[in-house]
Amino acid sequence: MKTWIWLICLTAVAVTAETPQEDPALELLNYFRDPEPHITLKPKLTTADRIKGHGYPAETHQTITEDGYIITMFRIPYSHKLQNQDKYRPIVLIQHGLFSSSDGWMLNGPNDGIGFNLADAGYDVWFGNARGNTYNRHHVSRSINHPYFWRFSWHEIGHYDIAAMIDYALARNGQGQESIHYIGHSQGTTVYFTLMSTRPEYNGKIKTAHMLAPVAYMSNMEDKLVKTLAPYLGHHNVYSALFNDQEFLPHNELFTKLAYNACAPGSRVHGLCNSIGYMLEGPETNSNTSVFPILAETHPAGCSTNQICHYMQEQQSGCFCLYDFGVAKNLDVYGHPLPPAYPVELITSLVHLWYSDNDDLAAVEDVERLAQKLPNKVMHHMEDPTWAHGDFSTHKEVKKYINDPIIDIMEAYEKDLLNV
């Protein structure tokens, strides 16, 4: 409630600042007496709008998963700088983390955003979205107001959503390509491990995969909030039962528009959004400070509470396992009282693991444990001891340390294909 009041006041102040002929205090009271005629909110920008705003061509696509969720994807089909629309353009799919969306890859702008860098390197760039976030709130038969819509964890996002995105991008590209490059951050890595281990035939559709802050095993993670809540939500009990099958941080169109109008570049209170970013990230953040206003406009993007519970289960069990429904349902679904472990040894695609010492969600020990089970991996340890979980997407030098090295690896792979 406090957040709502703050955003309404912030928006009202931003508007009253443009009408100096009347006392701002009196004008603000008018908004609360009768807000509808006075506050005109600009529509929220989509990922496609942001792409076009930087001069790149943008497309919006939708596909339907095997279990009926309608998935929205955004695409930079070619680079306006290269004018390479008639040339071969390898496909790359980029997948966001928990609480995020494709908007997360827009934060760094055209110079440091990995999607823009890839487009300028000649790639056909696709931005995925997980079911339940800002862009994926539709199903062929279920209403978002029914608990059944939210009865999914990141298992279904990997098993169904990522599979549907890969297949759609391959079909839509129109160049007869049979495989793609993949980049995922945080949950975007978890869902990759899920798909490739439960449907190993999809490994053949991957050229290179880049896991930024990979999350699978979580025994050694140091996030205080997770460690506090996991003993309650990481088990099948009354707490998790009350928490399950709901939207977490519910998406609200008015809230989103208020945040966008308050934090948009033309707003008189734009600077306050930087302050919010500093409060969230801390004074020693490595993030490019220009990302904070856009982050406030677009995040959190929403998810299912089951995604959170599934991660809590991972932390408590020390196992990278399927969802724990409780003994009775586990026996019915899995034929065993405990959920089975994901067979990550079946992930034969080339996996690059990008990890760091200061990541409180993807501990080095947990990443190394995962690496021991992967048959085809390359380790990329970040030398900077302060490199944190979010730095893989918002670091002020992310282009130098992440984007360019990934593109070099992908380019080397593509050159080897040509020489075969």
Taking each helix axis from N to C terminus, what angle separates 224-233 and 305-317, rounded to the nearest 10 degrees?
90
Catalytic residue among 389, 391, 393, 395: 389
pLDDT at residue number 285: 73
304, 132 in Cβ contact below 8 A?
yes
Q: Are strands 91-95 and 180-185 parallel, antiparallel or unpaired?
A: parallel
87 vs 275, which has greater pLDDT? 87
Asked if pLDDT for residue 126 goes beyond 60, the answer is yes
Strand extents, DSSP E, 186-235: 206-212
Q: Are strands 180-185 and 206-212 parallel, antiparallel or unpaired?
A: parallel
Asked if pLDDT for residue 283 goes beyond 90, the answer is no
- 317 has catalytic annotation: no
pTM of the model: 0.86
Rounded Cα gap, residues 273 and 277, in angstroms: 6
pLDDT at residue number 19: 41
Rounded Cα gap, residues 126 and 49, in angstroms: 15
Of the chain, the percentage scoring pLDDT greater than 90 comes to 73
pLDDT, tens only, 245-255:
899 876 566 66
- 146 has catalytic annotation: no
Of the chain, the percentage scoring pLDDT greater than 70 comes to 81
Phi, psi of 329 (to 5 degrees): -75, -30
Rounded Cα gap, residues 283 and 286, in angstroms: 9
- 290 has catalytic annotation: no
Task: Encode burial over 175-211: b for 16+ CB neighbours within 10 A, e otherwise.
Answer: eebebbbbbbbbbbbbbbbbbbbbeeebbebbbbbbb
| 256's tokens | 């989103």
Rounded Cα gap, residues 254 and 267, in angstroms: 17
Catalytic residue among 100, 102, 179, 186: 186
| Cα–Cα distances in angstroms (integers) from residue 50 to residues 60, 113, 122, 301, in the given order | 12, 12, 20, 16
pLDDT at residue number 13: 42
Mean pLDDT of 278-295: 66
Burial class (CB in 10 A: 0-12, 13-18, 19+), 6: middle
pLDDT, tens only, 32-62:
555 555 556 677 899 999 999 999 999 999 9
User: Mean of the per-residue pLDDT values for the chain?
Assistant: 87
pLDDT, tens only, 349-406:
999 999 999 999 999 999 999 999 999 999 999 999 999 999 999 999 999 999 999 9
The percent helix, strand, coil of the chain (3-state, each to 5) is 50, 15, 40
pLDDT, tens only, 207-239:
999 999 999 999 999 999 899 999 999 998 888
Q: Where residue 297 falls among pLDDT bands split at 50, 70, 90?
A: confident
Catalytic residue among 112, 359, 366, 391: 359
pLDDT at residue number 6: 42
pLDDT at residue number 258: 64
pLDDT at residue number 279: 41
Q: Residue 11 belongs to what H/E stretch?
A: helix 2-16
pLDDT, tens only, 142-199:
999 999 999 999 999 999 999 999 999 999 999 999 999 999 999 999 999 999 999 9
Structural domains of the chain ordered from first start: 47-419 (3.40.50.1820)
pLDDT at residue number 21: 47
